[in-house]
Structure 1
Amino acid sequence: MPLRHAIEHHARQRPDALAVSISGKALDYATLFQKLRRLHGALVSLPHRHRGELSLPSNARLFAVSTGNHSAAATLLPAALATPHAVMLLDPQWPAALQQRMLAKLPPDVVFCLSTQTALIEAAERLSIPAITVDTDAFETFLAAPADLPLTNPRDTFMVGFTSGTTSEPKAFARARHSWRASLDASRLAFALTEQSHTFSPGPLAHGISLYALAETLELGAAFHTIERFDLADAHRAMETTRRIVAVPSLLSALCHGASQEQVVEITTAGAKLDPSLLTKARDFFPRARIHEYYGASELGFVSLNTHGRSSSSAPANSVGRPFPHVELSIRENGAEVAQGNPGTIFVRGDLAIEGYLWGGRNSGFRREGPWATVGDLGKLNYDGSLTLLGREGGMVITAGHNVYPQEIESALTEIPGITGALVLGRTHHSRGQELVALLQGDVPLEEIRSQLAIRLPRYKLPRRFFRLADWPLTSSGKPDRTMLLNWLEEKDVRLVPLHPAT
């Protein structure tokens, strides 16, 4: 059912049940529903800006949120899901200048932010946009008398998101309500969710995986937990009353410390491939949990799913699983489908994808070919029906005349016992065009790495140089920062330790 009806239903049937808790600051369903009605009353009183880029009814406003995981997000984000209004998700980790450019490109009707974000507040004032600081009394003062929540149109926009894709300037996209309604129906079954699926998601609410987990949990009538900033002790306290975790692999790895968590029975992870060493660690730390690893994109929604049990997986563990329910896959090149087992660009067909970018992405990222859509990821469909990722268009390395996909080498490296993380980069080389460089975590001798890789890969796919490092630099979404690592290579940064043969 639409989330507006679900939240009202839970507020009437179980008013005292916990809806959202952010670092212990809690809202029950009755309080959440009342706050949504008060926020709706305040938003509709704002002047209406005409914006043809979005599908919004006359009683809807576009509001920007740059609050991170502040407790006010427990009201602001569900408002976009359950009222006619749409949210513009500004990442508080962005540089101030980038936030200001996004604000100027698509001016919202109001900005919700923190009092410390002075540059954003000043930019909003220059654009005549009200800026409401949620960490002061201004937010409570802004809320109006409760107003009835009207019905929402499935075709209307509820969210403006941003994705950097393969460029540094974020691309904006609008997502319609019907796409997440279809997604919620599919993921409820795929992830075996019930009203007892109390969920902990430690990541930033400005990112899709955590925001979607919030929507899933509220629709069920379960409790959603998160924390303002990552702290292991706070995370373990939040996990005490939850049965489910939703996190990118880097955060899932960070949670796997201390005593095992027997109460967690479901884990959902996405955003990067789950390497074998982390899968083993998660199975040990959460011994009762099934681990649902899905591949998807902000623009596409769910694409494929691999569910890992205690000792087996629903698809080969080095794949990203088989097509998600109601999604068709096609590996295509130059407008035609390639033979099974051959590499190409991954296209999907279903009702979960966006229509296109609001700006940016003309030469990269999301595009359509008839009913098929892609974000430019490369892969191959295996003969058992599973999908293997090979990288991103433009990320292929050409070395000595051979086309090489780094992710294939990374998968082979993480299969070697003792290697806990691997990244492969292509670095400019004077005679080979590019040379393959492997960055590793784990204490395995170079001779052992090379001999193991020689069993798994042809000679031309073997990295020529190997470096060890303690920790990856991460992007704001929790993925390894490949651009920074390339800079470290060029600068001979001491955090990259060259591996040499034993003497």
Structure 2
Amino acid sequence: MITALQKIVINPKSTFLLFDETQHHLFLNYAVPLIQAGISVGPVSTSIVKSLGLKVEKTTIEGVYTVSYEILNPSILCFSSGAKNNQKGIVRSFESWQNSFALIQNEITDYPNAKGVVVGALPYSLSLFGAVESLQRKQQPKVFPNHDLRHFTGLESNENYIMWMTPFHASFFAKALAKKQMLPVTSVRYLFVGGAGFLNSQRSVLQQVFPNAKIYSFYGASETSFIAIKHPCDSSKSVGVICKGVQVSILDDHLKKVPNNTKGTIWINTQDRFTSYFQKSLKVNTLNSFVSTNDIGFVDNQNRLFFTGRSDRYTSISGHIIDIYTIEVWFKEMLTIETLAILPQPNTQKENELVLLTTDHIASEIWHSIKKAGHDALGAQGVPKKWVHCPSWPVLANGKTDLKTLKKWL
């Protein structure tokens, strides 16, 4: 079958092999060897791919299609974690998957032969993440694409399992246990739940469903260790492309060749048609004192950043890309406040400015003193314009601050 599939692909640099989501067993059997052979694949609904503006053609093999799209590396096509409400295609390099697995591998060394269980349709990034991770561990994962508990069978009590699911499925299992539609599952040793909707209340109930599991929550499963790059002419739903070693820098005023050039635009220098730009959205840092090399990449002597990862905590302020996390750490140390967060907020000129949020009251004289010290230590762009007192402090199941809830108080 591998040879037959390879023959379908005339040009690996411009063709995806698309496995219809109803044929997920084909994908699981052949995805990894195909990618290792330099062919890009994806288990995605053909109707969704067409809505992304990509041309889908049938092949001689039932359930397998080709998609014409220029790519740079062997990749995987999936949806972002918000696919249910805002279906957005993402192309992910196989190497970026492996980089992501390195983080997970550190957590599952106790059960090296544990089998994978994926709850959710494969096109969704979190499900695909778990499935491919299992394949990388030389284990064929059990996939339960439906929400119907009648399909949730076949977990032997004498085996060890690693399970992947979304917060939606977490809620589903919790309700099933409460209604006594299922018994606790003791053979699941690790449970990875992704998505910002995972709550502490769900964690405690899930622990009853899977009493022997270590439960981990993580976010941005579809966007770990990569950046999706789109051509400026592509539609907003267009599939992005993952590139390794992307060259990034603040766009200088003399670079007039980029359309709609504005101060603060970030220049991404990639190959040919993938040369693109982001405005106030790409999260990198070009201030040498703020560069977080472990998370992002490195800056050369021309102040260009070579992107190797992704972080949620970067924003553009007055033409400078600011590392919000670094600024938060500085203010926490200066104010000796733990429940503190800094968020960007558009002002009346629709430009971002920083706002400090905390449950503690800060005396006006201390606030002005801290702002002056921050101006000297962080630069003008790194100092919040105001602070907001929050009535309580929202925390996610993984112990991190719930930034989404905090934004409601701005």
Normalising by structure 1, we get a TM-score of: 0.44
CA distance in 2, matches of 1:46, 1:215: 23
| Counterpart amino acid of residue 133 in structure 1 | E
Residue 42 in 1 paired to residue 29 in 2? no
| Counterpart amino acid of residue 254 in structure 1 | F
State which of 213, 224, 230 in structure 2 corresponds to 1:300. Answer: 224
Q: Is the 8 A contact 1:43 1:61 kept in 2?
A: no
The 5-angstrom pairing of residues 464-503 of structure 1 reads none
**Distance change >3 Å, CA 274–CA 197, structure 1 → 2:** same
**Distance change >3 Å, CA 87–CA 47, structure 1 → 2:** closer
Q: Is the 8 A contact 1:89 1:162 kept in 2?
A: no
Residue 208 in 1 paired to residue 208 in 2? no
Return the offset for 1:267: 1.0
Match of residue 200 from structure 2: 276
CA distance in 2, matches of 1:411, 1:271: 22
CA distance in 1, matches of 2:95, 2:200: 36
Where 2:113 maps in the other structure, the secondary structure is coil
**Distance change >3 Å, CA 360–CA 298, structure 1 → 2:** farther
Return the offset for 1:225: 0.6
Match of residue 20 from structure 2: 66
Match of residue 29 from structure 1: none
Match of residue 228 from structure 1: 145
State which of 146, 163, 167 in structure 2 corresponds to 1:249. Answer: 167
CA distance in 2, matches of 1:101, 1:359: 23
Q: Is the 8 A contact 1:366 1:375 kept in 2?
A: no
Match of residue 83 from structure 1: 37
CA distance in 2, matches of 1:164, 1:196: 28
**Distance change >3 Å, CA 201–CA 286, structure 1 → 2:** same
Match of residue 115 from structure 2: 198
CA distance in 2, matches of 1:172, 1:219: 23
Match of residue 188 from structure 2: 264
Gaps of 5+ in 1: 1-37, 50-55, 112-123, 143-154, 303-354, 416-420, 427-435, 437-460, 463-503
Return the offset for 1:232: 1.6
Q: Is the 8 A contact 1:377 1:390 kept in 2?
A: no
Return the offset for 1:280: 1.2
CA distance in 2, matches of 1:44, 1:81: 10
**Distance change >3 Å, CA 297–CA 266, structure 1 → 2:** closer
Match of residue 213 from structure 2: 289
The 5-angstrom pairing of residues 52-451 of structure 1 reads 56=12, 61-68=15-22, 70-91=24-45, 96=47, 98-104=48-54, 107=55, 124=57, 130=59, 132-134=61-63, 156-163=73-80, 173-192=90-109, 194-238=111-155, 241-256=159-174, 257=177, 258-272=182-196, 274-301=198-225, 362-363=278-279, 366=282, 368-369=284-285, 370-371=305-306, 374=310, 380=325, 412=393
Q: Is the 8 A contact 1:63 1:87 kept in 2?
A: yes
| Counterpart amino acid of residue 10 in structure 2 | H
**Distance change >3 Å, CA 159–CA 70, structure 1 → 2:** closer
Where 1:192 maps in the other structure, the secondary structure is coil
**Distance change >3 Å, CA 366–CA 170, structure 1 → 2:** farther
Gaps of 5+ in 2: 66-71, 227-269, 286-304, 315-323, 358-388, 397-401
Q: Is the 8 A contact 2:100 2:224 kept in 1?
A: no
CA distance in 2, matches of 1:409, 1:280: 26
What CA deviation, in whole Å up to 9, does each residue of 1:288-325 have, x standing for no partner?
A: 211122233423339xxxxxxxxxxxxxxxxxxxxxxx
Return the offset for 1:63: 1.1
| Counterpart amino acid of residue 166 in structure 2 | V
CA distance in 2, matches of 1:395, 1:69: 45
Give the percent of matched residue pairs that are identical in Structure 1 and Structure 2: 16
**Distance change >3 Å, CA 102–CA 164, structure 1 → 2:** farther
CA RMSD of aligned residues (A): 5.0
Report how many residues are paired. 279
Return the offset for 1:170: 6.1
Q: Is the 8 A contact 1:172 1:360 kept in 2?
A: no
CA distance in 2, matches of 1:274, 1:65: 30
Where 1:175 maps in the other structure, the secondary structure is strand
CA distance in 2, matches of 1:388, 1:201: 35
Q: Is the 8 A contact 2:40 2:76 kept in 1?
A: yes
**Distance change >3 Å, CA 262–CA 43, structure 1 → 2:** closer
CA distance in 1, matches of 2:42, 2:76: 6
Normalising by structure 2, we get a TM-score of: 0.52
CA distance in 2, matches of 1:409, 1:83: 53
Return the offset for 1:132: 4.5
CA distance in 2, matches of 1:262, 1:87: 34
Q: Is the 8 A contact 2:28 2:135 kept in 1?
A: no
Q: Is the 8 A contact 1:249 1:274 kept in 2?
A: yes
**Distance change >3 Å, CA 375–CA 100, structure 1 → 2:** farther
Where 1:214 maps in the other structure, the secondary structure is helix
CA distance in 2, matches of 1:179, 1:404: 34
CA distance in 1, matches of 2:341, 2:150: 37
Return the offset for 1:251: 1.0
**Distance change >3 Å, CA 366–CA 276, structure 1 → 2:** same
Return the offset for 1:173: 4.9
Return the offset for 1:364: 6.5
Q: Is the 8 A contact 2:81 2:195 kept in 1?
A: no
Q: Is the 8 A contact 2:41 2:77 kept in 1?
A: yes
CA distance in 2, matches of 1:293, 1:251: 13
Where 1:265 maps in the other structure, the secondary structure is strand
Q: Is the 8 A contact 2:192 2:215 kept in 1?
A: yes
CA distance in 2, matches of 1:365, 1:91: 29
